[in-house]
A and B are shown apart, each in its own frame.
Chain A
Amino acid sequence: MNYRVESGLYALGRPDHRSPVLVTANYKMSFDRLREALPGRNLWILVLDTKGINVWCAAGKGTFGTAELVHRIESNGLVRIVSHRELILPQLAGPGVAAHEVKKLSGFKVIYGPIRSTDLPRFLDSRLKTTPEMRLKTFPILERIALIPIELVGAFKGGLAVISIFFVLSYLGNVGEGSASALNHGLFSALSILMAIVAGGILAPVLLPWLPGRAFSIKGLTTGFIAFSFIMAFRLNGLTTGAGRLEMVAWFLLILPISAFLAMNFTGASTYTSLSGVKKEMRWAVPFQISAGMLGFLLWLGAQFIL
């Protein structure tokens, strides 16, 4: 799949020398969303080469930056095409573009437009005035859901190996009770890991604003506990034996940190976490996740092979 569009100057409708110039990234979705938001308008779209990356990420990397913008203004001869000296940039280009430097280097004044392209018609019709809502980056549920698959792919790559190991080990540990019982144990282990992934990778992002705590790991502990309760309900009859009880303690110590870890990883997809905050969270969360998980795994092995 090719997610890039050719960088350069595009005409939307029939623009002339007075028409506004909008700037965007050469990620196909950025470009398409922009075009789709402006039906029936006549304007110029200047597409920067951001290596197929969206505006915000490219601005963070600096590829949607002052130098690239000034270069595109020159290489497309913008001074000869429009008589005004104004450019409308998406607000989220801010981390990469220094408006005052663009002005100094190219003579063009940068006007930061709204964050969302869907607000552009209102922005253009109100003489380039934004409302406070247009300037606020939200993180609505649909956007969070859209980001789940890409995060889950990573989780499942590791998760599949872990699921297989747990399945094989619990099969081997219980094969003395017959192959049907061993299979049952193996599937239960696989289900438990799967639930931990669902808890941290799906439930936590979806329920994000409603979960207690600010740290994502804490949010993941709550969803992990929900997943653990679900698993527990399957095994209530197993609690009569010492091995059964030990196994549930082990799953508690496994499911919660796995879920917390995956929820913590969703910081990268979120639109409001700072690097300082993530580092602070990780300083206590990662040691906790690793030690709880290790202890859980040892107790689980004990429940399978010793008791």
Chain B
Amino acid sequence: MMGQFMYLKDVTTLSLNQERCVGCGMCLQVCPHAVFSLTNGTAEIVNRDACMECGACSRNCPVEALIVQSGVGCAAAVINSLIGRKKESCCYIEPSGGKGNPPECSAGPGRSSCC
């Protein structure tokens, strides 16, 4: 897509099980980077490297056809969690056990973006 930012290639943990897909199109609606398209009633990953692992698609997939290890791509949060700095710092990543809430990223008020 023209003018769209792209981060590293071949890193995303996103996977789609097309057998399960019912073609509801929710993933197309929530994805902020146009990763999916709908062809013949089945979702398809057409822009894999644009995925930022926000987790919106898997959360809104009613048949669990989408799996992604969601998290916030924030270097400061990775550093803070590595050195064990938590509460006192702006952001950190809480280890998440499989599915469930995405790794925690705490952002102070006044921030227009996460961490």
| Residues of chain A at the chain B interface (Cβ within 8 Å) | 1, 3-4, 27, 29, 52-54, 56-57, 59-62, 91-92, 94-100, 112, 115, 130, 132, 135-139, 143, 146-147, 150, 154, 208-209, 214-216, 264-265, 267-282
Given contacts A91-B30, A277-B12, 12 further A-B contacts (CB under 8 A): A54-B107, A56-B114, A57-B107, A94-B59, A112-B29, A138-B4, A265-B76, A270-B113, A273-B7, A274-B51, A275-B93, A276-B69
Contact residues of B between 78 and 92, Cβ < 8 Å to A: 78-79, 90-91
Beyond A267-B73, A272-B33, is A277–B114 a contact (Cβ under 8 Å)? no
Task: Give the distance in Å from the alpha carbon of A208 to the alpha carbon of B54 in the complex.
Answer: 21
Enumerate chain A residues within 8 angstroms of B70, measured Cβ to Cβ. Answer: 60, 95, 275
Q: Are A274 and B52 neighbours in the complex by a CB distance under 8 Å?
A: yes
How many chain B residues touch the partner (CB < 8 A)? 58
A169 → chain B, closest Cβ, in Å?
26
Can you report 12 A-B residue pairs in the complex whose CB atoms are below 8 A from each other?
Answer: A94-B30, A94-B59, A147-B113, A268-B75, A268-B114, A270-B5, A271-B5, A272-B50, A273-B7, A275-B70, A275-B103, A281-B8
Beyond A209-B5, A273-B7, is A57–B75 a contact (Cβ under 8 Å)? no
Task: Give the distance in Å from the alpha carbon of A199 to the alpha carbon of B47 in the complex.
Answer: 31
A31 → chain B, closest Cβ, in Å?
13
| Residues of chain B at the chain A interface (Cβ within 8 Å) | 1, 3-9, 11-13, 26, 28-34, 50-57, 59-60, 62, 69-79, 90-91, 93, 101-107, 109-115
Beyond A268-B115, A275-B53, A278-B73, is A53–B29 a contact (Cβ under 8 Å)? no
Q: Are A100 and B60 neighbours in the complex by a CB distance under 8 Å?
A: yes
Enumerate chain B residues within 8 angstroms of A59, measured Cβ to Cβ. Answer: 56
Q: Are A95 and B73 neighbours in the complex by a CB distance under 8 Å?
A: no
Q: Are B30 and A274 neighbours in the complex by a CB distance under 8 Å?
A: no
The winner among A136, A139, A268, A278 for most chain B CB atoms within 10 A is: A268
Enumerate chain A residues within 8 angstroms of B7, measured Cβ to Cβ. Answer: 214, 272-274, 277
Enumerate chain B residues within 8 angstroms of A92, measured Cβ to Cβ. Answer: 32, 56
Q: Are B102 and A62 neighbours in the complex by a CB distance under 8 Å?
A: yes
Beyond A98-B60, A132-B34, is A276–B13 a contact (Cβ under 8 Å)? yes
Q: Are A267 and B74 neighbours in the complex by a CB distance under 8 Å?
A: yes
Enumerate chain A residues within 8 angstroms of B105, measured Cβ to Cβ. Answer: 57, 60-61
Task: Give the distance in Å from the alpha carbon of A60 to the alpha carbon of B104 in the complex.
Answer: 7
Q: Are A268 and B72 neighbours in the complex by a CB distance under 8 Å?
A: yes
Task: Give the distance in Å from the alpha carbon of A272 to the alpha carbon of B50 in the complex.
Answer: 7
A187 → chain B, closest Cβ, in Å?
30
B39 → chain A, closest Cβ, in Å?
16
Q: Are A54 and B112 neighbours in the complex by a CB distance under 8 Å?
A: yes
Closest to B73 in A: A273
Enumerate chain B residues within 8 angstroms of A215, measured Cβ to Cβ. Answer: 8
Task: Give the distance in Å from the alpha carbon of A278 to the alpha carbon of B103 in the complex.
Answer: 14
